[in-house]
């Protein structure tokens, strides 16, 4: 039943706290089983440098802003009494995501109903790839969290007659929105797209609170960005120019190897060979559980049908579409698929919540509320079942529109991309079958990850080529865009000693090092994707 906006303040607060706590508990409970993924090592080492005054952000390397590193560092400091290693590093990003989930519940319930709020936050958790990134001590989870907080604090009117948004005092609302927007800008260059949906909405609806929020909030956001990025403090203008250059000239920075390829429908793409324009649409259609897609479609249709009256819905739609449109343009980095448009999926989750409200409202008028509730319950239970089936390799999730993971792989999509197949099962096998003094070599793996895993004892065998001992195994991640010619030869000609599969699809292969030497020396090395 919809919660009356005029009398629901305490209930909404309790509901949002419950949503945040439930999300936090779920993330903390599942995090130990989630393998360390590619970007985490680099992000954690940079965050550790903050305490020593080393700010490898904003004007250094590839130009990532600093706030996500602050979140990792703060979380590690707060949790060091009870957590260690990777789990301590993940604490900050997970708690920020839980806070965003609570804010999502509150804003959706206030603008729509309790049913919409429950539907939105449940959909957020039931998106397998979103749920995976919510754990990581990396960039994309904090970016999603901050963007959701910016939306939740923006004073946009809802579609309910009793909405109180217009009664907010304009200055505090604008300052709060500016701070959350500045946090979004300070997570990743992608966050600099976040102001556009709000500007477009304000131009379309021209409500006084929104106009004040934009006027006050944009300068506050820029000030917040400057405060959260110490490399800018001594020379803001030159620093900003450097930040923009590093982020918008990725292809020219060959030293860092940032022109990363991706296999998409059987063909290889990179910055020099852009993905087709429809790639973001396809990613959305095949990586979101079908039931949640249907509910989001209902939410989108209802919003468009009442676009003049449903101001809150249009703000959601603008936030959902901005990354889908921009990331479809030539010249944008193509790699890792959904990861680079992840914030759009958060707003798709809220639109699914709106779809729940529409379904329940339609059913109530026709006395079939029980049937509607059962159908929606099946949708969410099925989506939650995907989390169980794919755990902990949620980044490999594809829905049945493409035939699941097996169908996607057959269609020429990458089955994995972030080394999340290197879970405790694979590591246990490697430890058991690698004698003390023998080494393991990893193909196309993050050196930072390996160094930290060795420090924490997660990886108990040597990987350094310069260390004493002979290599025993060569480990390949089944990411076609990351294959070396030797990897391709091994996959084609050699039999792995151990293989990690998910739904019968290989994610990680372990080969004898003698086979790797044969592959490296073979004149038969080739590339199937050239």
SS (H, E, C) 413-465: CCCCCCCCCCCHHHHHHHHHHCCCCCEEEECCCCHHHHHHHHHHCCCCCECCC
Tell the burial category of 422 from Cβ atoms under 10 Å away from its Cβ (0-12, 13-18, 19+): buried
Q: Which of 374, 357, 373 is nearest to 2 (CA)?
A: 357
Q: What is the pLDDT of residue 330?
A: 86
Instruction: Tell me what pLDDT residue 526 has.
Output: 52
Contact 263, 481 (CB under 8 A): yes
Asked whether the bond before 481 is cis by omega within 30 degrees of 0, the reply is: no
Q: How far apart are CA 399 and CA 394, in angstroms?
A: 12
Please give the chain's pLDDT, 530 residues, in tens. Answer: 343 343 367 888 999 999 999 999 999 999 999 999 999 999 999 999 998 999 999 999 889 999 999 999 999 999 999 999 999 999 999 999 999 999 999 999 999 999 999 999 999 999 999 999 999 999 999 999 999 999 999 997 533 333 444 444 568 889 999 999 999 999 999 999 999 999 999 999 988 889 989 999 999 999 999 999 999 999 989 999 999 989 887 665 656 667 889 999 999 999 889 999 999 999 999 999 999 999 999 999 999 999 988 999 999 999 999 999 999 998 888 888 899 999 999 999 999 999 999 998 887 666 677 888 899 999 999 999 999 999 999 999 999 999 999 999 999 999 999 999 999 999 999 999 999 999 999 999 999 999 999 999 999 999 999 999 999 999 999 999 999 999 999 999 999 999 999 999 999 999 999 999 999 988 455 555 43
pLDDT at 256: 63
Q: Provide long-range contacts, Cβ within 8 A and 24+ apart, for 159-162.
A: 159/111, 159/112, 159/306, 159/309, 159/310, 159/311, 159/312, 159/313, 160/5, 160/111, 160/112, 162/4, 162/5, 162/6
What was the pLDDT predicted at 252?
57
- What is the pLDDT at residue 158? 39
Confirm if 451 and 464 have CB atoms less than 8 A apart: no
At 530 the pLDDT is 39
Question: Does pTM top 0.85 for this prediction?
Answer: yes
3-state SS record for 477-524 = ECCHHHCCHHHHHHHHHCCCCEEEEECCEEEEEEEEHHHHHHHHHCCC
pLDDT (0 to 100) of residue 1: 36
| pLDDT score, position 525 | 52
Closest CA to 155 of 97, 200, 119, 202: 202
């Amino acid at each position: 039943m919809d919660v009356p906006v005029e009398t629901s303040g305490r209930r909404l607060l309790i509901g949002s706290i419950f949503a945040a706590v439930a999300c936090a508990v779920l993330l903390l409970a599942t995090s130990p089983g989630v393998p360390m993924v590619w970007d985490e090592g680099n992000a954690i080492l940079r965050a550790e440098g903050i305490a020593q005054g080393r700010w490898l952000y904003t004007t250094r390397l590839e130009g990532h802003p600093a706030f996500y590193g602050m979140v990792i560092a703060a979380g590690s400091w707060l949790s060091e009494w009870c957590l260690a290693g990777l789990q301590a590093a993940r604490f900050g990003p997970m708690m920020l995501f839980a806070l965003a989930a609570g804010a999502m519940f509150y804003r959706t319930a206030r603008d729509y109903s309790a049913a919409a709020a429950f539907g939105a936050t449940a959909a957020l958790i039931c998106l397998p790839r979103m749920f995976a990134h919510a754990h990581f001590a990396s960039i994309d989870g904090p970016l999603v969290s901050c963007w959701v907080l910016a939306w939740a604090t923006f004073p946009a009117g809802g579609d309910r007659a009793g909405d109180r948004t217009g009664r907010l005092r304009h200055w505090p609302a604008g300052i709060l929105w500016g701070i959350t927007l500045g946090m979004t800008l300070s997570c990743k260059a992608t966050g600099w797209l976040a102001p556009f949906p709000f500007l477009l909405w304000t131009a379309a609806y021209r409500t006084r609170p929104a106009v004040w929020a934009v006027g006050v909030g944009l300068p506050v956001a820029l000030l917040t960005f400057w405060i959260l990025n110490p490399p800018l403090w001594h020379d803001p203008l030159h620093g900003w120019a450097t930040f923009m250059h590093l982020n918008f000239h990725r292809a020219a920075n060959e030293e860092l190897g940032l022109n990363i390829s991706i296999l998409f429908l059987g063909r290889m793409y990179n910055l020099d060979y852009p993905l087709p324009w429809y790639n973001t649409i396809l990613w959305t259609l095949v990586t979101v559980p079908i039931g949640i897609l249907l509910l989001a479609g209902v939410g989108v249709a209802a919003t468009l049908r009442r676009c003049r009256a449903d101001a809150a819905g249009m703000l959601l739609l603008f936030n959902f579409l901005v990354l889908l449109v921009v990331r479809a343009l030539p010249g944008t980095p193509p790699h890792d698929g959904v990861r680079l448009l992840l914030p759009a999926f958060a707003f798709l989750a809220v639109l699914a919540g709106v779809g729940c409200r529409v379904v329940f409202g339609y059913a109530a008028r026709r006395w079939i509320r029980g049937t509607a509730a059962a159908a929606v319950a099946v949708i969410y239970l099925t989506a939650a079942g995907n989390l169980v089936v794919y755990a902990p390799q949620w980044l490999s999730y594809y829905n049945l529109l493409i035939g699941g993971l097996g169908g996607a792989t057959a269609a020429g999509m990458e089955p994995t991309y972030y080394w999340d197949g290197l879970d405790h099962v694979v590591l246990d096998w490697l430890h058991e079958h690698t004698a003390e003094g023998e080494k393991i070599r990893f193909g196309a793996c993050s050196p930072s990850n390996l160094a930290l895993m060795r420090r924490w004892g997660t990886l108990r065998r040597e990987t350094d080529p310069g260390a004493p001992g002979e290599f025993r195994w060569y480990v390949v991640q089944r990411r076609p865009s990351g294959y070396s010619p030797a990897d391709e030869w091994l996959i084609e000609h050699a039999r792995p000693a151990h293989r990690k599969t998910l739904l019968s699809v290989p994610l990680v292969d372990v080969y004898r090092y003698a086979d790797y030497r044969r592959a490296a020396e073979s004149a038969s090395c080739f590339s199937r994707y050239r």
